[in-house]
Structure 1
């Protein structure tokens, strides 16, 4: 349990000697000093003598830097990635909200590590094939490291992602999806840029990248003082799934944790290459992907990382529909967490398996701002009369 609050009252900002009880909260200023012309705000007063001195004692480095001994050399400067909140939204159901990272997704943990490789190797820049979170994050970490960044993207990138790329000064090449990877390999071979996304037909990925995801496991363990029973992970290529599993496995190998949680991959039902690979007992497969709005995880290919995480943890791959993800997205929003559709896949998977005993953690990967079409529909205007406003509110159930 955290420290008890030292708050004792509310008081006028203009006249601090005028105090009011701590509750109810004053939402219209100080009632004793405000006038019709001036609303003097209120503030909270504290018993400062009761504030523990150790509250301000030096703490370990935050974010990924705290875990540097278990990561590749962090040669690239960070952006404060990691240290995201772990929120209990129901009894025994926790959500790790990765939208709180610098570019609003889990990819920041990966790109701190991959950009570090580029810096350590003296690469003249980095290149990434992505129309979503990965590209936005790579552009940010390249900018932070003073490196140019080339992003092979599609013309239909979400508005928020396009804005990120423009802000960071990335060179964006909008090409058909099937042309991305051949062009990326050519850029690497001829210009020497460092690739921070996949280059192979089946997904192998950057060796350093998933190491950054291990820190999610470290943070969960450090905050909870133990290991959850299961972790549900939105899954495309399986790098996040693998990284989180590896982090827990390391904790077990170091003698800090008594077990490793079961890992559940949550893939769009429109594709599901990891699920297919596990069913066939093969390292990886390619599938045809049907229509889905979960663009961030609609992968046609899987990689062996995902198979390893599932089989070694005794978990499973779950297929979730767009409707199930949308329901999970609404549930998270009802708890104050706005996730993109793909980011809600973990909770959607958990809702399929109601017999999993807790505590369980659902990884929520990215902000709802990253969804396609966000911002395209403005709110319907309402006449600024009480009659019109009251009618709208009554219709909303007030």
Structure 2
């Protein structure tokens, strides 16, 4: 039986809105928007009387947790087998960080190789439930690819508003799933166009269009709750700290909500401390100053382009403050890319630059004494490095072309050691 009570609540003012709230999805709470502080609205669940997490093994992918997702009973799940991603031990990173253990929740194992599949699976299922024929998303890659794939699975039209500057690999991936992809020059241009399309054509927003941002599709955010559910099932003990790469905080908010569910029904004693990893630090600045809103801060081009936001969101601040969490800026491209290669070479885990910011932020938290030697830490590996191989290739030597002789091989290997 679903625990969803059919309402959505603002993360800032707690005003309630009845389901379905299609016209509000992507724009957030009208009251808070009128006050100049956009804030997402997220589903409300009734956990009264629960003492365990309901799991239905007959459901596909993450829909095994269907009772904890904001869908009507008769809605067919749109699934590609997402979820159930592994946790991989990172002993080298644990040693460098001075903590008991570090694991990566490797979300690159999802169908489109990022954790955005969790959002897309639930959001597109909701689109089917409400009878939407077209879904629209503003994305620099992973989000758009995920929505395009799940829309294709559901037989829905998908329109992606991306940026001209995103890597060609990302554009190709989104187009390959059948999406209609167009590029704009500025992020704000995507949001204003998307807002008009939702208002005039009734398309369902899969991402946010508020400016400043509020967060993505309200229903889809709860797809990320399943990361928390899986971590509690997969690890011998609940993690003490979870580090999440953050732009607008959909994953951070969803993971926090998942842990809050499990704590509310008594499966864990407390919500793990959440740490946000963000290239330019709007959340870190807001937490340090006690500000009610995060950003804007100065930004520049970054290898972690998908999370390089000038703004944090209200849902991010709420998740961090509820868990006594914190945030760290990770602006050094060289540090990010060096960490990417280090994890790949010592642990066999090749993550996208935006994902690697979680490992960089962990190092900063360790240096600040925020994590300790008894802590078990999980970093969320949001996507694979294969989404932007050019960024990695720029840090690697050219591959030598040699004649078929041992001597030539030895010469090439020796030359590599000296570079």
TM interval, short-chain normalised: 0.7 to 0.9
How many pairs were matched up? 339
- Greater CA radius of gyration, 1 or 2? 1
Q: Is the 8 A contact 1:327 1:348 kept in 2?
A: no
Query: Match of 1:326?
Result: 337
| Map of 1:230 onto structure 2 | 241
Unaligned runs of 5+ in 1: 1-57
| Aligned pairs for 1:357-376 within 5 A | 357=372, 358-371=375-388, 373=390
CA–CA distance in 1 between the matches of 2:103 and 2:62?
A: 21
The answer for the alignment partner of 1:22 in structure 2 is none
CA contact (8 A) 2:158 2:179 kept: yes
What's the CA shift for 1:81? 0.7
Match of 1:142 in 2: 151
User: C-alpha offsets along residues 188-235 of structure 1, whole Å, 9 cap, x if unaligned?
Assistant: 122221110101112223211220111111100001143111011111
Q: Which residue of 1 aligns with 2:17?
A: none
User: Which of residues 205, 220, 224 is equivalent to 2:231?
Assistant: 220
**Contact 1:111–1:138 under 8 Å retained in 2:** yes
Q: CA shift at 1:59, angstroms? A: 5.5
**2:399 aligned with 1:379:** yes
Alignment of 1:159 onto 2:168: yes
> How far apart, CA to CA, are the structure 2 residues paired with 1:92 and 1:376?
30
Shift of 1:298: 0.5
1 CA distance for matches of 2:392 and 2:417? 25
With over 3 angstroms needed to count, the CA separation of the structure-2 counterparts of 1:62 and 1:75, relative to structure 1, is: closer
Tell me the secondary structure at the aligned position of residue 90 of structure 2: strand
Q: Render the CA deviation track for 1:78-97: whole Å, top value 9, x for unaligned.
A: 11111111011115111111
Cα-Cα RMSD: 2.1
Q: TM-score, normalised by structure 2?
A: 0.76
Aligned to 1:100: 109
2:242–2:273 CA contact under 8 A, matched in 1: yes
One of 317, 320, 324 as aligned partner of 1:314: 324
Q: Structure 1 residues 62, 359: CA separation in 2 closer, same or farther (over 3 Å shift)?
A: farther
Identify if the C-alpha distance between structure 1 residues 196 and 349 changes in structure 2 by more than 3 Å, giving closer, same or farther: same
| CA–CA separation in structure 2 for the residues paired with 1:291 and 1:376 | 18
Structure 1 residue 372 displacement after superposition: 6.2
Shift, 1:62, TM fit: 5.5
2:408 match:
388
Distance in 2 between residues matched to 1:197 and 1:278, nearest whole Å:
25
The secondary structure found in structure 2 opposite 1:78 is coil
- Range moving further from structure 2, 214-223 or 86-95: 86-95
Quick check: 1:76–1:145 contact (8 Å CA) kept in 2? no
Deviation at 1:182, TM superposition (A): 1.1
User: Contact between 1:98 and 1:363, CA under 8 Å: does it hold in 2?
Assistant: yes
Return the match for 2:178 from 142, 145, 169. Answer: 169
CA distance in 2, matches of 1:194, 1:75: 18
Note the C-alpha offset of 1:380.
Answer: 3.8
Given the alignment of the two structures, is residue 239 of structure 1 paired with residue 256 of structure 2, yes or no?
no
Equivalence for 2:208: 198
- Structure 2 gap segments, 5+ residues each: 1-55, 92-99
Query: Who is 2:264 aligned against?
Result: 253
Structure 1 residue 166, shift from structure 2 partner: 2.0
Contact 1:226 1:257 in 2 (8 A): no
SS of 1:95 mapped into structure 2:
strand
Higher relative contact order (CA 8 A, sep 6+): 2
The residue that corresponds to 1:32 in the other structure is none
Please say which of residues 237-246 and 377-386 is displaced more in the overlay: 377-386
Between 284-293 and 309-318, the greater mean CA deviation after superposition = 284-293
CA distance in 2 between partners of 1:186 and 1:364 (Å): 34
TM-score when scaled to structure 1? 0.80
